[in-house]
Amino acid sequence: MYQQNTTSRPARTFSKFGQRPTFSSSRGPSRGGYSSQSSRSSSQSSSSGGYSSPGSSQGSSRGGYSSQGSRGGFSGSSRFSGPSRGAPRRRFGNIINPALFIKKAEEFIKNEETNPVHSFEDFKFDTQLLANIKAKGYLKPTPIQDQLISEVVAGRDVLGISNTGTGKTAAFALPLIDAITKNPNKRVLILAPTRELAQQIKSDFRDFTPGLRVYLALAIGGAFMREQIMDIRRGPNVIIGTPGRIMDLNRRRVINFAQFDTLVLDEVDRMLDMGFVADIKSIVSQITQAHQTLFFSATVDKKIEVLIDTFLKDPVKVTLKSTPTSSHVEQDVIRVPRFDKESTLTKLLKQEDYKKVLIFTSTKLYAEKLTISLKAQGFAVDSLHGDKRQSQRVTVIRGFKEDQLKIVVATDVAARGLDIHNITHVINYDQPATYEDYIHRIGRTGRADQKGYALTFIDP
């Protein structure tokens, strides 16, 4: 069997475009494919399918994905990976204690069994808004709504922290909609870290505004900018968008931040983690008039909270998290070798209890290939990740909501913003990079008053 000689030829390096290559003896040349180790052989015969782990005695997988270099498969690290080339790729989740993925669901009190201090009528909402709230099936405020709606109505800055699926969006949407009915000149800017969350917020606003003169515009990437510009130039009361597209429209002088009197950041911790601190500071600095700032999230650590405090003035802070994860979710792990993960997943999906399943993978490529494999086995499945066009992402989400799809395989783009109430199971096919990502992933199930299940695949 051919074995690469890593000492016979030094690797070529270029210091400048157009310069003749020089050679470095640090590593041999890569002869093809995406491979972190550039190996063309395996220590043992490979499996014909599935996933193999780095350095695994099973060798590389001919039909699957391998983190070490293999001639026939995709390798996790690319030879174009910059300073880390040649180093083994860090596996997702290898710094998270697996014990954190195991937790029994607790007995929880359904919202209709709680005794909030306020009713929706106590907030003096517009009569049509109250009718819309009732039509949506809201009988009484959830705890986060009960504590924060009156503060938003009073014009206070707010930091609201609560588990996913507890009604945070309505906690700011309802008082803002009511304020617009009383003052049609009110202007609100809402920022979200992902397109899916921005679209979900717009959908929630629409559910509460039939019969009301409240106008909305969406500004997100992946969609036609011309249509968004036309919507914004009509003078909507509320603009909902992602920071990148919002800043782009500001540079084009389509959006003038000085016109807004209310700024809302949903999943604020994620936006700050993604590096939008400078953009947020720029937006706040351009809102010259006295304004109200509302921040909401399911997870905020101390470091992020200190940063958040720089944007808020004498805020009301409400934290309703007895546990880091939702108490409605039964959490467990499945110990399975990487090369056997797909067959194990298939057996689970064939069980009757797995009615609607959201599967998380670590990369877009893994999501797409796993989707193709499951489709070939007859499952009603599609993928959701950042390489899909916006129209495709919308179609997948709609199909999932309307039960045309039983399974969606996604990257962390779906960890925030998917508000689909009847997801029975979340499966972490690949472990998340951080525990915060895990919290948001499993928060897609067990929403509102439902019980959900979360399973995480880990190495034996």
pLDDT for 167 equals: 86
CB-based burial label for 142 (10 Å; 0-12, 13-18, 19+) = buried
For the ranges 123-127, 378-382, 405-409, 436-440, the lowest mean pLDDT is seen at 436-440
Closest by CA to 268, choosing from 292, 246, 234, 300, is 300
Q: What is the pLDDT of residues 408-460, one digit of tens each?
A: 999 988 777 677 878 999 999 999 988 888 988 988 888 767 889 999 999 88
179, two tokens: 């304020």
Calculate the average pLDDT of the chain: 79
**CB of 219 within 8 A of CB of 189?**
no
pLDDT for 52 equals: 40
d(CA 196, CA 97): 30
Whose tokens are 């003052």? That residue is: 183
Q: What band does 303 get if pLDDT is binned at 50, 70 and 90?
A: confident
441, two tokens: 């992933």
d(CA 433, CA 232): 37
- In this prediction, residues 289-311 reach a mean pLDDT of 84
98-106+325-458 shares its CATH topology with 111-320: yes
Domain limits of the chain?
1-89, 98-106+325-458, 111-320
Q: 313 vs 74, 150, 156, 157, 308, CA distance in Å? A: 50, 17, 8, 6, 10
Q: What is the pLDDT of residues 192-234, one digit of tens each?
A: 988 889 999 999 999 999 999 999 999 998 888 999 999 999 9
- In this prediction, residues 380-403 reach a mean pLDDT of 90
d(CA 267, CA 248): 21
Closest by CA to 419, choosing from 237, 93, 192, is 192
Closest by CA to 292, choosing from 175, 126, 417, is 175
**CB of 267 within 8 A of CB of 416?**
yes
Which class would CATH give 111-320?
alpha beta
CATH architecture observed for domain 98-106+325-458: 3-Layer(aba) Sandwich (3.40)
Q: What band does 174 get if pLDDT is binned at 50, 70 and 90?
A: very high
